[in-house]
Structure 1
Amino acid sequence: MGLIILFASLFILMALRVPIAFSLALSSFAYILYSGLPPVLLMHNMVNGMDSFPLLAIPFFILAGALMNSAGITARIFGFARAIVGWMHGGLGHVNVGASIIFAGMSGAAVADAGGLGAIEIKAMREAGYDDDFSVGVTAASSTIGPIIPPSLPLVIFGVMASVSIGKLFVAGIIPGLLMALSLSAMIWWMSRKRDYPRDVSFSPTVIATRFKAAFLPLMTPVIIVGGIVSGAFTPTEAAIGAAAYALFLGTIVYRTLSVRKLAVISLETIETTAAIMMIVGAASVFAWILTANQVAAQFAEFVLSFTDSKAVVLLLIMAVVLIVGLFMETIAAISILVPVLMPVAAQFGIDPVHLGIIVILNLMLGLLTPPVGMVLFVLSRVSKVPFEQCVRATLPFLIPLIGVLLLLTFVPSLVLWLPELLYGA
């Protein structure tokens, strides 16, 4: 009965559009009261859930991304990507994807990509004569690369919840992120040929060299982050601090585009975003603790074992569960709740936790592109002034290559695990 109250109150609160952090906390509190447990357990478990050194990486990665956006560095990245791939059919579509790959190495969040680069990309594509549907669809789909290529806020959360090396998760995301980019570029090429979209610019080594020079220092950000972690020079948390310090250096000393007023606004935005994420992490930790105390993970594992002994079927079942949860729940909350349930099943069937982390995060990224949550779609609707329903329709074709990559990574784990095994050992 207690679990019925837990889930029923959660669904009712979510249906009433109560913020996910409060929905999780209030439903957990209802369970605690019904079970006759001390109410102080709510705060105790929330604090324990947030008391983790690796979670310190979150505010610094958020700060680094915000500094990059406000310092005008995203425009330099866009210009460099334009010089490299703008000469292809549907050039600005490929530029969109290329810029997202580069920006992914700085922000680690799909919403930051959509909100930061999205405004620049959609404006440029409109001026070049691209349809709004194509522009919004490409921008939405390419933004999901950010949480896969390191650094990644969702991978930090997954690493903390699953007690998995965040460094290994970061390295494991490189090849999947590039595969996502290649699949989206193939879709862009096909649609561009079909709609006869133009080449944006002529191929010019001179222009590429000029744009590379202008974007060189920002391009060093992912090199510092990933190179430092892989070499063992610093931890992911220290890498986040270094990225924020480097972005601050570029904005204030090198380019001098950050004023005191801008820094104050950026700081407040970082504090607000971090507080919201940590509230979700804390509330989800209580919810996950209740599930663990009631042996939901063990019961789910028993159900799966009674249903099938095929690893392939188990992977499909896990993906179906994650997809359904991702449609209705914010990414950070979904990770915090799903990990304690899925890890025992993965261990039972010999699924590597690093492999599980990548496919779970990619699966949840699809939830950012689909209603009713669709956070990226809401951001792009606001940025582009395109109705939300139209944004949903525009994004649907680009889900096809992303789902194809998800299935490929699910059933060919070596694509995920080869690089971490090469750099860290088996």
Structure 2
Amino acid sequence: MIDPFAVCIGTILVLALLGLPIGHAMIAASILYLYLAGLDMGTAAEQLLNGMYSSYILLAVPLFILSAEIMNSGSMTTRLLGFCNALVGRFRGGLAQVNVVQSIIFAGMSGSAIADAAGTGKMMQKMMTDGGRYPASFAAALTAATAVIGPIIPPSIPVVLYALVSDASIGYLFLAGMLPGLLMGLAQMGIVVWTARQRDFPVEAPVPLRQIPGITLRAIPALMMPVVLLGGIYSGITTPTEAAAIAAAYAFLISALLYRTVSLASTYRSLLSSARTTASIGMLIAGALVFNYVITIENIPRTLSLFLQGMDLSPLMFLLIVNVLLLALGCLLEGTTIILIVLPVLIPTAEALGVDLVHFGIVCVVNIMIGLITPPYGLLLFIMTNIGQVSLRALVGEVLPFLYAMLAALAAITLFPDFVLFLPRLFGYQG
């Protein structure tokens, strides 16, 4: 007798290998499963519509994407880069340090690693390689590594999606990501310092002290965006979704009225690009909602939970297994797919073992983000080979020191949950 679930999994793999987007493949395979199992195939549409229209939180995703697009089309990003250069550009390897610092600051605005790499990443690549100051492969590797910080420091699209599948508080998840994101940034800055000394990277001409107040003043409206966004959430004035809408409006108003760098044509391009990205993510979410229904029918989360509990794992051992699993999957799968398909299977086990879901969420998101630069198939590696016009082999060689530093940071985040939960507890989290 044919096992409907085995056919479903096989169909997803075959369709994905044939080039069909994974979201479409999951929907098609799930409908086939319902047919083979003798269930109402209309249930697929019901699950999709119920999931999409009852999840108010999902509206935050296109709004964060739009705010990042508007920032890139205006001069907000350029002013932020000027501010970062004034802060750390004067040290050896200063432009490389600027790359890290701008990612930390820009992380408080975009919520997307790909947006960081495709936005400020292009600018940093040109600045670092201009005049042969840095090897193109090193600049591309550093930009890929720093982009990983974006979805860890709030706001974060992966964290929003994790909140969707786990019912954990977005506000506390955002708070929990701050210190781990800063730790990742410090680890990368340490690698830059070491590499700059080893390879005698150039020292940039320092920005005169008299110019720093003016540079800072011009950057303040852009620097205020994370304050507006996160202040609204943590003060209780807005929900995360409402804060995302305010962030997009703020980015547009600052770019259009204060900086005067946004035209009707660039606004249209920003809206069009945001719509395309949102549609791509939306299809993944739609496919995951339908496929998760199949997983629920098959009782896979409970079966896996009982199996792992039967192994008498400690919470730490479980987290270490999850780290290895997600790092391996991150080499092969896109992060949104992992969050929407794999994590719902693991969350019941985490709860049963007493793992805090806010800590678990940050550990998972950090793993998935590191997967973006993990050879051989990290998505950011392919993006930066295109932007930097370098070979994948050269890029991988340069990215490995940053990868090792981030794995060390991941170990600390996994082993010390109090470090991750410090800020949420300051704001009243009881976990």
TM-score, normalising length from structure 1? 0.96
* Equivalent-residue separation in structure 2 for 1:204 and 1:262 (angstroms): 34
Matched, 1:406 2:406: no
Instruction: Map Cα deviations across residues 67-104 of structure 1 (whole Å, 9 max, x no partner).
Output: 00000211111111111011222111110010001111
Instruction: Map Cα deviations across residues 144-191 of structure 1 (whole Å, 9 max, x no partner).
Output: 111000110010111111111111111111101100000000011111
Residue in 2 that maps onto 1:162: 166
* Equivalent-residue separation in structure 2 for 1:303 and 1:411 (angstroms): 24
* Equivalent-residue separation in structure 1 for 2:218 and 2:407 (angstroms): 35
**Worse overlay, 298-307 or 54-63:** 298-307
Does structure 2 conserve the Cα–Cα contact (< 8 Å) formed by 1:20 and 1:330? Answer: no
Residue in 2 that maps onto 1:235: 239
What one-letter code is carried by the residue in structure 2 that aligns with 1:105? G
SS at match of 1:127: helix
* Equivalent-residue separation in structure 2 for 1:108 and 1:395 (angstroms): 22
- Report the CA distance between 1:389 and its aligned residue: 3.9
Q: What 5-or-longer segments of structure 2 have no aligned partner?
A: none
* Equivalent-residue separation in structure 2 for 1:26 and 1:393 (angstroms): 39
2:124 to 121, 124, 132: 121
* Equivalent-residue separation in structure 1 for 2:15 and 2:396 (angstroms): 24
Residue in 2 that maps onto 1:324: 328
Instruction: Map Cα deviations across residues 1-56 of structure 1 (whole Å, 9 max, x no partner).
Output: 22211222222222233212112222222222221222212222122222211111
**Worse overlay, 118-127 or 368-377:** 368-377
Residue in 2 that maps onto 1:49: 51
Residue in 2 that maps onto 1:417: 421
SS at match of 1:150: coil
Matched, 1:353 2:357: yes
C-alpha distance 172-244 of structure 1, shift in aligned 2 (>3 A): same
Percent identity over the alignment?
A: 39
1:99 to 75, 99, 102: 102
Residue in 2 that maps onto 1:294: 298
Matched, 1:247 2:251: yes
Residue in 1 that maps onto 2:268: 264
What one-letter code is carried by the residue in structure 2 that aligns with 1:66? E
Instruction: Map Cα deviations across residues 360-412 of structure 1 (whole Å, 9 max, x no partner).
Output: 01100122113554222222222222234433333222111111111110110
Instruction: Map Cα deviations across residues 88-122 of structure 1 (whole Å, 9 max, x no partner).
Output: 22111110010001111111000000000111101
What one-letter code is carried by the residue in structure 2 that aligns with 1:397? P
Residue in 2 that maps onto 1:305: 309
C-alpha distance 322-49 of structure 1, shift in aligned 2 (>3 A): farther
Give the number of equivalent residue pairs.
Answer: 426
Does structure 1 conserve the Cα–Cα contact (< 8 Å) formed by 2:330 and 2:378? Answer: no
TM-score, normalising length from structure 2? 0.95
Superposed counterparts of 1:14-93, under 5 Å = 14-51=16-53, 52-93=55-96
* Equivalent-residue separation in structure 1 for 2:145 and 2:239 (angstroms): 30
SS at match of 1:173: helix
What is the Cα-based RMSD across aligned positions, in Å? Answer: 1.5
SS at match of 2:237: coil
- Report the CA distance between 1:297 and its aligned residue: 1.0
* Equivalent-residue separation in structure 1 for 2:171 and 2:179 (angstroms): 14
Does structure 2 conserve the Cα–Cα contact (< 8 Å) formed by 1:68 and 1:247? Answer: yes
Matched, 1:273 2:290: no
Does structure 1 conserve the Cα–Cα contact (< 8 Å) formed by 2:128 and 2:139? Answer: yes
SS at match of 1:232: coil
Instruction: Map Cα deviations across residues 329-354 of structure 1 (whole Å, 9 max, x no partner).
Output: 21112111123211111111111110
1:8 to 10, 17, 29: 10
Residue in 1 that maps onto 2:146: 142
* Equivalent-residue separation in structure 2 for 1:144 and 1:46 (angstroms): 30
* Equivalent-residue separation in structure 2 for 1:114 and 1:326 (angstroms): 18
C-alpha distance 196-372 of structure 1, shift in aligned 2 (>3 A): closer
Q: What 5-or-longer segments of structure 1 have no aligned partner?
A: none
